[in-house]
Amino acid sequence: MFVNLLLLTVIATVEAQRVPGLQKTDSCLCKINSSIWTFPAVQFVEVTKQVQTCEENLNEFEEKLRNTDAELPLMRATLQNITARLKAFNYLHTSGLYNALHLRQLNQELEEIHQIVNEAHMENPNNETHNLLSELNKAKHDVQRMYKDDFFNLETMKKRLRNLNNRAQACKTIPNNFRSTCHQRIMTRISTPSVTKLNSFSKSYISGAWGRDALLTNKERYWEHCLVSGHKHGNTIRIYNSHEDFMSNKNYKDEPIASSYSDKNAVQGSGTILYDNTVFYQCYSTAEICSFNITTKATKRMKLDAAGIDNKFPFCYYSCRDWTDIDLEADQDAVWVIYATEENHGNIVVSRLDPLELNITHTWKTHLFKRSVTSTFMVCGVLYATRFVSTYQEEVFYAFDTTTGQEINTLSLPFEKVSAGIANLNYNPVDGKLYLYNDAYLLAYDTFF
């Protein structure tokens, strides 16, 4: 029976075979050659090794999966961090900064600058206009080579065009008295405060501006303007007809610039200036400049193309006042507007305004990032910029000369303040003083050249 069972087992696992046998009594006797069913030990060992190797590989793969699962959160966090860091520069891509088609814009800018220099050269030929024409022709040749070689270095070319444009702006026709009344000397020192007082409204008004009418021929007239509604808007300017009245807060007149601080002609931000009895300021929630004549009560408006507003390009990072995207300044002969644009990568742009017609006559582009600056002011066509040093000290560190298009970033002119935040700083050509609105305090300084 045992043999029969063995045969059945073997037969069940291999090909069936017939085996002859003899019947004897109650048994069947067979002769079996068992070698035909020899167990394949060698093959079994080989298969066993393969199974073991497969198990090891499977275990190793599972370990890698576990490690990958553990690293995935870190990889996701790293990707999110990189994405966030690149987001700020996404406009370089979306604006086509590194696109071959952008060369067309370079050509257009070159043509515009070439036209400006040509006109200046025809009216007043000199070495500077001649050199500019030569450099512009070389720049045109370089752009054509960029087309041909398919090799782009647009950032370098843009920087080059910005410098050429600044020099071209300086060559444009500017009134003779623009240069004759200004001695292009750089400021050398700022005094300790000659005036320090709280504004006449309230200590809670931490943002605003103050100063003296900047027109040389005007009589002594001081002004004060404070922002309300979250230190963002205003609609009234306070006028004093003498320094004595200003210091004693008497005999003043509150002039309404707009019917309310939410009116379309209301003031936004602290970049206000008074020039020739006219208030110049950023119009309510728009990239526009408003002028309000105190005598005639007339308001004019002009659009400031591409200017950032609503805290897109305000002054400074640390201890700053909001809503400082557009800053109006005045010197001997002009009103100036300081702002920033995406096209200039958030760097400061300076435009000269005709105060009567309220239009832009000249524009210069600097390399100074606006948010690295706490405030700016203009003296004789020179832009000065300050930076935060400490709660009680500020420093003039930069100057840009619109006459030459040259920049200086090695100045170090410290001056005192009574608090950290600066809302407005402006220079007055009548008395040569700087006027600072410093966290509700009004300070004035003498300047030296």
315 shares its domain with 337: yes
Residues whose CB falls within 8 Å of the CB of residue 132, separated by 6 or more in sequence, listed in order: 117, 121, 164, 167, 168, 171
C-alpha 106/C-alpha 141 separation (Å) is: 12
Residue 180 lies in a domain: no
Smallest CA-to-CA distance from 406 within 65, 128, 141, 142 is with: 128
- Between 76 and 231, where is the model more confident? 231
Q: What is the pLDDT of residue 102?
A: 58
- Between 435 and 322, where is the model more confident? 435
133 shares its domain with 223: no
Query: What is the pLDDT confidence band of residue 21, given thresholds at 50, 70 and 90?
Result: confident
Average pLDDT over residues 48-76: 83
157 shares its domain with 192: no
Average pLDDT over residues 312-319: 84
pLDDT tens digits along 299-315: 999 999 999 999 999 99
Q: What value does the mean pLDDT of the chain take?
A: 82
Q: Is the pLDDT of residue 1 over 60?
A: no
293 shares its domain with 365: yes
- Between 71 and 104, where is the model more confident? 71
- Among 144, 171, 198, the domain-final residue is 171
Q: Is the pLDDT of residue 179 over 50?
A: no
Contact 215, 276 (CB under 8 A): yes
Residue 416 lies in a domain: yes
Name the one residue in this structure whose structure tokens are 């000659």. Answer: 194
Residue 439 lies in a domain: yes
- Between 164 and 188, where is the model more confident? 188
Average pLDDT over residues 315-331: 88
- Among 171, 198, 220, the domain-final residue is 171
238 shares its domain with 300: yes
Q: Residue 408 carries which side chain, given as an amino acid letter? A: I
Q: What is the pLDDT of residue 250?
A: 93
Name the one residue in this structure whose structure tokens are 């306070």. Answer: 238
Average pLDDT over residues 210-231: 89
- Between 381 and 75, where is the model more confident? 381
Q: Is the pLDDT of residue 378 over 80?
A: yes
Q: Is the pLDDT of residue 177 over 50?
A: no
300 shares its domain with 159: no
Q: Is 300 exposed, middle or buried (0-12, 13-18, 19+ CB in 10 A)?
A: middle
Q: Is 163 exposed, middle or buried (0-12, 13-18, 19+ CB in 10 A)?
A: middle
Contact 375, 425 (CB under 8 A): yes
Q: What is the pLDDT of residue 88?
A: 60
Beta-sheet strand order (sheet of 327-330): 327-330, 335-340, 347-354, 359-369
229 shares its domain with 360: yes
Name the one residue in this structure whose structure tokens are 């005045």. Answer: 330
Q: Is the pLDDT of residue 8 over 50?
A: no
Q: What is the pLDDT of residue 156?
A: 65
221 shares its domain with 269: yes
Lowest mean pLDDT across 175-179, 318-322, 394-398, 431-435: 175-179
Average pLDDT over residues 8-23: 59
Q: How many domains does the chain fold into?
A: 3
Find the CATH number of the domain harbouring 381: 2.40.128.630
C-alpha 271/C-alpha 249 separation (Å) is: 23
Residue 54 lies in a domain: no
pLDDT above 90 covers a percentage of the chain that reads: 46
253 shares its domain with 129: no
193 shares its domain with 155: no
pLDDT tens digits along 116-167: 777 776 777 777 777 777 777 777 667 666 655 554 555 666 667 666 666 6
Query: What is the pLDDT confidence band of residue 360, given thresholds at 50, 70 and 90?
Result: very high
- Between 2 and 185, where is the model more confident? 185
Residue 19 lies in a domain: yes
195 shares its domain with 315: yes
Q: What is the pLDDT of residue 152?
A: 52
Helices and strands in the chain: count of H runs, count of E runs = 8, 25
Residue 275 lies in a domain: yes
Locate 189 and state its tokens.
């020192």
Contact 342, 306 (CB under 8 A): yes
Q: Is 183 exposed, middle or buried (0-12, 13-18, 19+ CB in 10 A)?
A: exposed
Q: Is the pLDDT of residue 7 over 50?
A: no
263 shares its domain with 404: yes
- Which domain does 433 fall in, by range? 185-448
CA distances from 250 to 124, 160, 204, 375, 406 (A): 52, 54, 20, 30, 45
Average pLDDT over residues 221-248: 93
312: left (phi over 0), alpha (psi -120 to 50) or beta: alpha
Q: Residue 260 carries which side chain, given as an amino acid letter? A: S
Residue 73 lies in a domain: no
Average pLDDT over residues 39-51: 80
C-alpha 36/C-alpha 42 separation (Å) is: 16
Q: What is the DSSP letter of 308?
A: -
Residue 283 lies in a domain: yes
- Among 171, 201, 226, the domain-final residue is 171
Beta bridge partners of 273: 280
C-alpha 423/C-alpha 164 separation (Å) is: 33
